[in-house]
């Protein structure tokens, strides 16, 4: 199984946010798309999942063209999606989330590669929370639930949007280990993150997304040999979907609830010039 993107562009209302993206994610590997907030990561994942129609290009899963297919068909074809913010239901228990996901599974319960037992074996902490409602789960537990729910749709490719956003370092490490285990089990994983450290830890291949364009591509060996190279490739001050709007978009995005913490935790401190331009208040150094 291999995901291939050929010259994929997409956006909103006629405006283009991601531009002519070429990517290939083979089975058993993790590909990270690293970019600042507003670079277009979610837009790219939404386009692959079928939630946004591409303006140009093709999306292929093992050679099968899914470009014109609706989201539910892509799920059946093997694309599992773990959204940013987890999107669990506040009033449903963990067990109810899993039951709903299983109802939509593509295989029978005996033929399914990912059964409820197998998922809980991978994420044993969830087994201790089966009766807890979504609203009473920690961020890490919600993330595990979102991954479990996606696995029960029997994916060959897993899309993970900012899987460690807002999580404590120990929980992020647990999620990282889960991602590595899933690739080890043969899944193709495409994850989006603003955190160079996550890409460095789990990714076989990393693409840097800057203002909607892939501006660098690094493999794991290159990143290991030069641990600062990836951070340097993430140019401070080019956050937005268009170069002209970049600095303004960054300032706007930073003011959204919850975003300041993400900014401070995950991005290199902007240079004095860009701090002055955007008015950002980041005081923390690189994570
Ligand atoms: N539904 C929408 N309608 C119009 N513009 C949108 C919509 N969603 C996102 N955008 C814009 O597209 C650009 C890219 O946003 P996107 O969410 O894809 O970035 P991102 O890299 O995932 O950042 P973040 O981590 O903040 O989600 C931003 O300028 C954003 O304002």
User: Please, are residues 247 and 240 in contact by the beta-carbon 8 Å criterion?
Assistant: yes
231: domain CATH number?
A: 3.40.50.300
Residue 35 located in a structural domain: yes
Q: How close is the Cα of 41 to the center of ligand 1, in Å?
A: 8
CA 241/CA 214 separation, integer angstroms: 12
Q: Which structural domain, as residue segments, surrounds residue 8?
A: 2-78+155-239
Indicate the SS3 state at residue 137: coil
Q: How close is the Cα of 109 to the center of ligand 1, in Å?
A: 37
Specify the pTM: 0.80
* Residue of 171, 222, 170 lying closest to 199 (CA atoms): 222
Q: Which residue's C-alpha comes closest to atom 24 of ligand 1?
A: 37
CA 21/CA 146 separation, integer angstroms: 27
Give CA separation, 8 vs 18, 56, 217, in Å: 8, 5, 16
Tally of domains within the chain: 1
The pLDDT tens digits of the residues spanning 114-168 come to 889 999 999 998 989 999 998 899 999 999 999 999 999 999 999 999 999 888 8
ipTM score for this prediction: 0.96
Residue 15 located in a structural domain: yes
Count Cα neighbours of 25 within 13 Å in the Cβ-side half-sphere: 28
Q: How close is the Cα of 40 to the center of ligand 1, in Å?
A: 6
Residue 94 located in a structural domain: no
Residue 250 located in a structural domain: no
Mean pLDDT by 10 residues, the chain (287 residues): 95 93 96 94 96 95 93 91 88 91 62 86 91 90 95 94 91 94 94 93 94 92 84 67 35 32 30 33 31
Atom of ligand 1 lying closest to residue 44 CA: 18
Q: Where are the alpha helices (DSSP H) in the chain?
A: 41-49, 71-77, 94-103, 116-122, 124-127, 139-151, 169-184, 196-202, 220-225, 229-233, 246-254, 259-266, 272-278
């Amino acid at each position: 199984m291999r995901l291939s993107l050929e010259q994929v562009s997409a956006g909103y209302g006629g405006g283009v946010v991601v531009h002519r993206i070429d990517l290939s994610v083979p089975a058993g590997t993790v590909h990270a798309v690293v970019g600042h907030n507003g670079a277009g990561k979610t837009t790219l994942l939404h386009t692959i999942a079928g939630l946004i129609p591409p303006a140009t290009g093709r999306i292929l899963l093992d050679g099968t063209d899914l470009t014109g297919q609706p989201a539910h068909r892509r799920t059946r074809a093997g694309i599992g999606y773990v959204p940013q913010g987890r999107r669990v239901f506040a009033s449903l228990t963990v067990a109810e989330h899993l039951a709903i996901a299983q109802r939509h599974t593509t295989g029978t319960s005996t033929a399914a590669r990912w059964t409820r037992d197998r998922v809980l074996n991978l994420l044993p902490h969830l087994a201790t929370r089966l009766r807890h409602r979504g609203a009473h789960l920690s961020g890490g537990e919600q993330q595990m639930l979102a991954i479990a729910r996606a696995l029960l749709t029997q994916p060959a490719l897993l899309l993970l949007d900012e899987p460690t956003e807002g999580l404590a370092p120990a929980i992020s490490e647990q999620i990282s280990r889960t991602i590595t285990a899933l690739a080890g089990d043969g899944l193709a994983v495409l994850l989006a993150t603003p955190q160079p450290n996550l890409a460095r830890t789990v990714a076989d291949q990393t693409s840097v997304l800057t203002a909607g364009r892939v501006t660098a591509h690094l493999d794991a060996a290159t990143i290991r040999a030069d641990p600062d190279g990836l951070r340097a490739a993430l140019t401070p001050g080019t956050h937005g979907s268009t170069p002209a709007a970049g600095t303004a978009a960054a300032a706007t995005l930073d003011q959204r609830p919850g975003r300041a913490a993400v900014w401070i935790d995950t991005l290199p401190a902007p240079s004095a010039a860009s701090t002055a331009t955007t008015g950002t208040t980041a005081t923390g150094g690189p994570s």
